[in-house]
């Protein structure tokens, strides 16, 4: 009985310390007190066509550079090619009708304000190694 | 009236006190000095330092320029204000400089001396520049961007498509698509090509 008590006491004291050594590994692989080395900035490729979708209802990625594209109250550079009015002339992807719906699913006469800021959902991509391994697979219907 | 009459009488008579040599050579030298001074002063107003010496330009359009490719880019070639806003050709330049006297008036009376006033005038000011560039077939762009030297195969697909058709045929000019290339866009509702 005494032995068991002593052993469990030992475990209680050393256990957390040993566990901490294994478990406390942050994703950044760097202790919190140390400043991470600055990552190299990544350049957007000028063109990045035909990027596959990963899941149903995914907002398609932007396949080109968008430096300096103004999207604010005054102007929306994206819509100067992708709007219903202009898409044919530029052979661009047409904005989906879903963007005309307000939150009550009523179709508006123009792009709904809640869908106006393109970059909230659509983003360009850089060729970057994922920081964490990811085994996600797109659904069979989307696989090429 | 009498003074004017006397002045013209003096002009129409040969000089009494000065030699012909002094008058011709002196006139020639004075001409060089006058012309040199005029040109130096003109060129001094044609620099970025001069444009941005006013807070109207420095705090609005110059700040906006700094993030664009015409100010910061990988090779360090850059455009200054007059490269795009003042014609390089002499007669056109003088015409533009005469127009600029209106801008001196604007500066004196503070037409755009606050951010709010500037924003209110932004569309009007932008339209002035768009009309000018449209009328001269984007001459100031073409001073650097030579169409004949464009290699479409090196351009992105969507760029080469537009440049080899609309631009090549002269149907469109640079400014038709590249509005807002160096400064923020104004309210674009109703502007052609915009939403």
pLDDT tens readout for residues B93-108: 999 999 888 899 999 9
Residues B159, B140, single domain; the answer is no
Question: Residue B112 is part of which domain span?
Answer: 55-145
> Taking CB atoms and an 8 Å limit, are B186 and A74 in contact across chains?
yes
Q: How far apart are CA A48 and CA B146, in angstroms?
A: 27
Closest residue in B to A77 (Cα) is: B194
Average pLDDT of span B159-170: 93
DSSP state of A38: P
Residue A86 lies in a domain: yes
Q: Which of A6-10, B15-19, B66-70 has the lowest mean pLDDT?
A: A6-10
Evaluate the CA torsion angle A11, A17, A22, A24 in order and state its sign.
positive
Subunit contact B188:A47, Cβ cutoff 8 A: no
- 3-state SS assignment for residue A10: helix
Residue B29's nearest CA partner among B40, B41, B21 is B21
pLDDT at residue A77, as a whole number = 94
pLDDT grade for A139, boundaries at 50, 70 and 90: confident
ipTM score above 0.85: no
* Total domains in the fold of chain B: 2
Q: What's the Cα-to-Cα distance from B48 to each of A39, B59, B82, B142, rounded to whole Å?
A: 35, 13, 7, 20
| Domain extent for A73 | 43-126
pTM of the prediction? 0.79
Which residues of chain A lie closer than 8 angstroms to B180, CB-CB? 68, 70, 75, 77
Q: Tell me if A64 and B156 make a contact (CB, 8 A cut-off).
A: yes
- B147, B82 in Cβ contact below 8 A? no
| Residue found by looking up tokens 């420095």 in the block | B58
Residue A102 is assigned to a structural domain of this protein: yes
For residues A119 and A100, give the distance between their C-alpha atoms in angstroms, rounded to a whole number. 16
């Amino acid at each position: 009985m005494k032995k068991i008590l002593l052993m469990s006491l030992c475990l209680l004291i050393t256990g957390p310390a040993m566990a901490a050594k294994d478990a406390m590994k942050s994703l950044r692989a760097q202790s919190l007190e140390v400043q991470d080395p600055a990552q190299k900035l990544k350049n957007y490729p000028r063109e990045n066509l035909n990027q596959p979708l990963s899941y149903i209802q995914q907002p398609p990625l932007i396949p080109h550079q968008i430096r300096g594209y103004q999207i604010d109250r005054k102007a929306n550079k994206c819509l100067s090619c992708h709007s219903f009015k202009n898409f044919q002339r530029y052979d661009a992807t047409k904005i989906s009708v879903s963007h005309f719906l307000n939150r009550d699913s009523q179709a508006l006469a123009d792009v709904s304000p809640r869908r106006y800021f393109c970059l909230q959902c659509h983003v360009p991509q850089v060729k970057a190694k994922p920081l964490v391994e990811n085994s996600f697979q797109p659904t069979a219907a989307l696989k090429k | 009236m009498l003074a004017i009459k006397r002045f013209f009488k003096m002009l129409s008579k040969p000089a009494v006190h000065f030699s012909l040599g002094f008058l011709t050579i002196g006139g020639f030298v004075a001409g060089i000095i006058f012309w040199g001074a005029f040109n130096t002063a003109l060129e001094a107003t044609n620099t970025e330092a001069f444009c941005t010496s006013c807070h109207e330009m420095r705090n609005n359009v110059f700040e906006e320029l700094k993030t664009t490719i015409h100010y910061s880019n990988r090779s360090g070639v850059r455009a200054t204000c007059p490269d795009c806003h003042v014609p390089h050709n002499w007669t056109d330049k003088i015409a533009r400089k005469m127009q600029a006297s209106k801008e001196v008036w604007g500066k004196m009376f503070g037409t755009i001396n606050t951010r709010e006033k500037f924003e209110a005038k932004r569309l009007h000011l932008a339209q002035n520049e768009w009309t000018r560039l449209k009328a001269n077939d984007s001459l100031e762009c073409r001073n650097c961007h030579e169409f004949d030297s464009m290699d479409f195969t090196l351009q992105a697909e969507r760029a080469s498509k537009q440049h080899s058709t609309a631009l090549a045929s002269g149907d469109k000019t640079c400014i038709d698509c590249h509005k807002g290339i160096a400064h923020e866009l104004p309210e674009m509702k109703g502007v052609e090509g915009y939403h």
